[in-house]
Amino acid sequence: MDIMHVMITPLTLMGVMGLIFGVLLAIASIVFRVHQDNRISLIRAALPGANCGGCGYPGCDGYASGVVNDGASVNKCSVGGSAVAQRIAEIMGVEAGEHVPVRSFLRCKGTCEASPRQLVYDGIDDCRSAVTIPGGSPNSCPFGCVGLGTCTKVCVFGAITMGDDGLPHVDLNKCVGCGTCVAVCPKAMLTLVPVTADVIVACNSHWKGTMVKDVCSAGCIGCTLCAKKCPKQAITIDHDLAVIDQSKCIKCGLCAKVCPAKCIKVGESVKVIEKSA
Amino acid sequence: MTLTELFLLFLSSIFVHNILLSRFLGCCPFMGVSSKLKTAQGMGAAVVFVIVLASLMTWLTYNYLLVPLHLEYLYTLSFILVIAALVQFVELALKKLNPVLYKSLGIFLPLITTNCAVLGVAVLNMNEGYGLAAALVNALGSSLGFLLAISLMAGIRERIEENEGIPDCLQGLPMALITAGLMSIAFMGFTGIIK
């Protein structure tokens, strides 16, 4: 009798309850089955499955249903690029359209050498923590890269590594432009740029020239030399920082040559033009 | 319980014993999903829905299963079982029968399976020895209190986001925690209005 009350009854009760609920849920899942559009599973199969969230949807499943149900455009997946966009377009029966892939770009050249680290930050090893100290950064330049490598930790593609110079380096072959590092960077140092953009100002400082020179030898001082040199007037100075309008830029590379701080980065396509000229 | 007593219970469960600001149950979504007013209201609506349903089911389980079998000590286990199964069932049914409501409740419905506010209200109903009517009124009041508190919090946080005068080290969650503390103190003002 005692065993009955202490052991058997509770075990039976919980077992029966669990069984009943299990059976009920199993029945419910059949009765209330919602017929899913099979294009969703087709698109899901075509997606790379990185679940990076670069498309703006929570994971690949979210994007697949977004394409079918919410009419999201088919070329949002930056990991798969144009090949995946083409597949999704076929499934949906629409045109894929022009797709310019984007890549992550670090807008800072403040290496340990160019911008000496004057403060030893001893807090939590994360940029997002380091920027909460007074002054906004452990480094002298409050606009520059903090250099604790939070972006390297969040990149699921292993495209960002910390260099010995104190700055993260983006491996353009591995980077898919998902934007995770852009979202996590507390200084907005990383931006997404089209892979066709090859002349970019690698500085984020809006300080006056003299103040920039005090803290960094590779910072934009707003001297306007590049803006004057540019044959297409593609460069404007926004609060002592040069900004290149990529739609006007012809990748001649003249601005990078005259820049006294050498903070305008040029890529491969510019060098090709220089050689052929 | 008379109708007056039920009405007083309703009011006191919203204001005096607010589930978030006085009982401190279900604080996780109070911080987690209170940054936008719209999502906060979605969460609040889902909580109202689930708490009322779960209170009904757990009250029946307790009074018609556990008490007759003298197994009252199994209440935590069986309540969790009932709540989890119920939420799953409701999710399946809603998906089919009312896709609009299912979409507006969204991800919050499965999330609140494990919300301690749901279990908390069920346990409160049991501890206070409420009848079915009182249990349901208490559940409705408590969950409306949750909706009220999380909506207020989201409204305040949306405004705080615009405020650039807040020191860097207090922006975001620290400021939200301080706000929650002040709101809790403000709700203490209701103490004593209803005995």
Chain A residues with beta carbon closer than 8 angstroms to that of B89: 24-25, 28
Phi, psi of B121 (to 5 degrees): -65, -40
Give B194's DSSP letter.
B
Q: Are A253 and A274 in contact (CB under 8 A)?
A: yes
Which of A121-130, A228-237, B103-112 comes out lowest in average pLDDT?
A: B103-112
Question: What is the spatial distance between Cα B29 and Cα B42, in angstroms, rounded to a whole number?
Answer: 11
CATH number of the structural domain A39-92: 1.10.15.40
Chain A residues with beta carbon closer than 8 angstroms to that of B96: 31-34
- Neighbour-count burial of B122, counting CB atoms closer than 10 A to its CB (0-12 exposed, 13-18 middle, 19+ buried): buried
DSSP string of A209-245, one letter each residue:
HHHHHHH-TTS-----HHHHH-TT--EEESSS-EEE-
Q: For residue B125, is it within any domain?
A: yes
A266 DSSP β-pair partners: A199
pLDDT for residue A273 is more than 50: no
- Neighbour-count burial of B190, counting CB atoms closer than 10 A to its CB (0-12 exposed, 13-18 middle, 19+ buried): middle
Candidates B75, B89, B107, B171: best to mutate against A (most CBs of A within 10 A) is B89
Mean pLDDT on A195-215: 85
Which of A24, A25, A34 comes nearest B95 by C-beta? A34
Size of interface A-B (CB pairs under 8 A): 47
Chain B residues with beta carbon closer than 8 angstroms to that of A29: 92
Question: What is the spatial distance between Cα B146 and Cα B44, in angstroms, rounded to a whole number?
Answer: 6
Q: Are B50 and B109 in contact (CB under 8 A)?
A: yes
Q: Are B150 and B40 in contact (CB under 8 A)?
A: yes
Can you name the CATH fold of A196-277? Alpha-Beta Plaits (3.30.70)
Chain B residues with beta carbon closer than 8 angstroms to that of A14: 74, 77-78, 81
Q: Is A35 on the interface with B (CB under 8 A)?
A: no
pLDDT score at A275: 43
Q: For residue B165, is it within any domain?
A: yes
Count of domains observed in chain B = 1
How much of chain A exceeds pLDDT 90, in percent? 4
Q: What residue numbers bound the domain in which B31 lies? A: 3-190
pLDDT score at A276: 44
Measured between CA atoms, the residue of chain A closest to residue B72 is: A10
A114 DSSP β-pair partners: none
Query: What's the pLDDT tens digit per position in A65-101?
Result: 888 888 788 888 878 877 888 888 888 877 766 667 7
Angle formed at CA A267 by CA A241 and CA A183, multiple of 5 degrees: 60
pLDDT for residue A24 is more than 60: yes
A39-92 against A101-193: fold identical:
no
Q: Is A4 on the interface with B (CB under 8 A)?
A: no
Q: Is A17 on the interface with B (CB under 8 A)?
A: yes
How much of chain B exceeds pLDDT 90, in percent? 44
Measured between CA atoms, the residue of chain A closest to residue B89 is: A25
**In this structure, how many other beta carbons lie within 10 angstroms of the beta carbon of residue B108?**
21
Q: For residue B11, is it within any domain?
A: yes
Q: For residue B69, is it within any domain?
A: yes
pLDDT for residue A63 is more than 70: yes
Mean pLDDT on B140-146: 95
For chain A, the domains span: 39-92, 101-193, 196-277
Query: What's the pLDDT tens digit per position in B116-140?
Result: 889 999 999 999 999 999 999 999 9
CATH class of A101-193: alpha beta
pLDDT for residue A227 is more than 80: yes
Give B71 to chain A, closest Cα distance, Å: 7
Give A150's DSSP letter.
H
Q: Which has the higher per-residue pLDDT, A276 or A267?
A: A267
Q: For residue B195, is it within any domain?
A: no
State yes or no: ipTM above 0.85. no
A264 DSSP β-pair partners: A201
pLDDT score at A277: 39
Contact residues, B window 95-114, toward A, CB-based 8 Å cutoff: 95-97, 99
Q: Is A33 on the interface with B (CB under 8 A)?
A: yes
The residue whose two tokens read 């390297």 is A152
Q: For residue B182, is it within any domain?
A: yes
At position B75, the amino acid (one-letter code) is Y
